Structure 1
């Protein structure tokens, strides 16, 4: 089964984003050595996490080589990540590595347009290597599927000075014209968890609700991320 792994937020300047979220009272972990990192992670002790990433628009030029090697769905996904603008850009659904290949076969059998299963890796700030696998869906507006990190990366203890404890809900909008493709993916989704799917004019993450934050967040420092009004409600 697939579960909600993490929400991806595209930012123009990763260092500025990390600084702003730290000022908002979050503990943020660099994805790799800070001087060359292009992503950062906002962990919680349970449930989905948030990934901030920076990707120059020039990466749009890699769409066609990526499509040729890993399938059109992979090229479309890269282009989506690289397009200008800040804010929620994607949603990752997680399964284990074995089930990822099973989901890939099932999705192809159902007629879904997916990429090859691709391998990813990064080097943490402490020098340890992290591996994972993922596949892209098409249209690129839909969530993609990723395996768990190997080795596991969730910290055993996470404390955010602003009181945030976990993501209570992730609202995902699905447009009518994307419903058939999403339904093929949703057949593998766990019914439990924070993901809430609803009809919307456009497909994508609508907002994220955090538990434990007792005051509203300064929108000027959110880099386009949208948190629901209930963010101010304690659990």
Structure 2
């Protein structure tokens, strides 16, 4: 029912981030027109992708209105996204359809605390409108859930000049006090795929194993993201 969709990296300056990653040899796509975009996408031909996003800390003030409209889980998630600092901030699990009503019912029936289903949209740099739906889970440290994009957005061909080919592993740490809530959510995964679940003091993305280019990247230009190169036995995965 759910699979690993993408990893979200919070950054302080989206334009500096895009420039740095392009100079590091990645092909990066703006989420919308560059002059007003607040996010950018790093696609691969298969598996999870990466979304870089910029969100002012003042957005934390919208936690309470968001909670009233869409549920406490939504307000908590917004506050988490808006907190200061760069680096891995969230992980999205995706359905294979463009609606979330069935998943929403199933998650609630399974004991997961979730928000209402929310509608999202953005206008691509080429002017085409993209629609999707999403729902927040609680606690906000857990992955959230998104629908498939309408229309689909993954490029049919992606070439990164630095040789990066795909994300082979997403290391997700789960703290003991979040284990029961995570297990209720994880029960809806179709397969673990690239997710590697580890016990950790804090719940969240620990790192991303990148096939092809992870050991050639300047940490000072990654804006908080942490990459490692896939071992040889996994690099062809």
TM-score (norm: length of structure 2):
0.95
CA offsets per residue over residues 16-36 of structure 1, 9 Å max, x none? 000000011000000000000
Question: 1:62-101 alignment to 2 at 5 Å?
Answer: 62-97=62-97, 100-101=100-101
Q: Which residue of 2 aligns with 1:16?
A: 16
Structure 1 89/116 Cα, relative in aligned 2: closer, same or farther at 3 Å?
same
Q: Structure 2 CA distance, aligned partners of 1:214 and 1:10?
A: 19
Q: Structure 2 CA distance, aligned partners of 1:214 and 1:3?
A: 23
Q: Structure 2 CA distance, aligned partners of 1:109 and 1:214?
A: 40
Q: Which residue of 1 aligns with 2:167?
A: 167
The unaligned stretches of length 5 or more in structure 2 are none
SS in 1 for 2:227: coil
Q: Is the 8 A contact 2:169 2:195 kept in 1?
A: yes
Q: Which residue of 1 aligns with 2:30?
A: 30
* Structure 1 position 144 matched with structure 2 position 144: yes
Moved more, 104-113 or 165-174: 104-113
Q: Which residue of 1 aligns with 2:208?
A: 208
Q: Which residue of 1 aligns with 2:39?
A: 39
How far off is 1:96 after superposition? 3.1
Q: Which residue of 1 aligns with 2:59?
A: 59
Q: Structure 2 CA distance, aligned partners of 1:78 and 1:214?
A: 30
Question: 1:114-193 alignment to 2 at 5 Å?
Answer: 114-193=114-193
Q: Is the 8 A contact 1:3 1:94 kept in 2?
A: yes
How far off is 1:97 after superposition? 3.8
Structure 1 177/155 Cα, relative in aligned 2: closer, same or farther at 3 Å?
same
How far off is 1:123 after superposition? 0.2
Q: Which residue of 2 aligns with 1:2?
A: 2
The unaligned stretches of length 5 or more in structure 1 are none
Moved more, 106-115 or 60-69: 106-115
TM-score (norm: length of structure 1):
0.96
Matched residue count:
234
Q: Is the 8 A contact 2:98 2:148 kept in 1?
A: no
Q: Structure 2 CA distance, aligned partners of 1:7 and 1:214?
A: 16
Q: RMSD over aligned Cα, in angstroms?
A: 1.4
Q: Is the 8 A contact 1:10 1:86 kept in 2?
A: yes
SS in 2 for 1:140: coil
Q: Which residue of 2 aligns with 1:225?
A: 225
SS in 1 for 2:177: helix
* Structure 1 position 50 matched with structure 2 position 36: no
How far off is 1:127 after superposition? 0.3
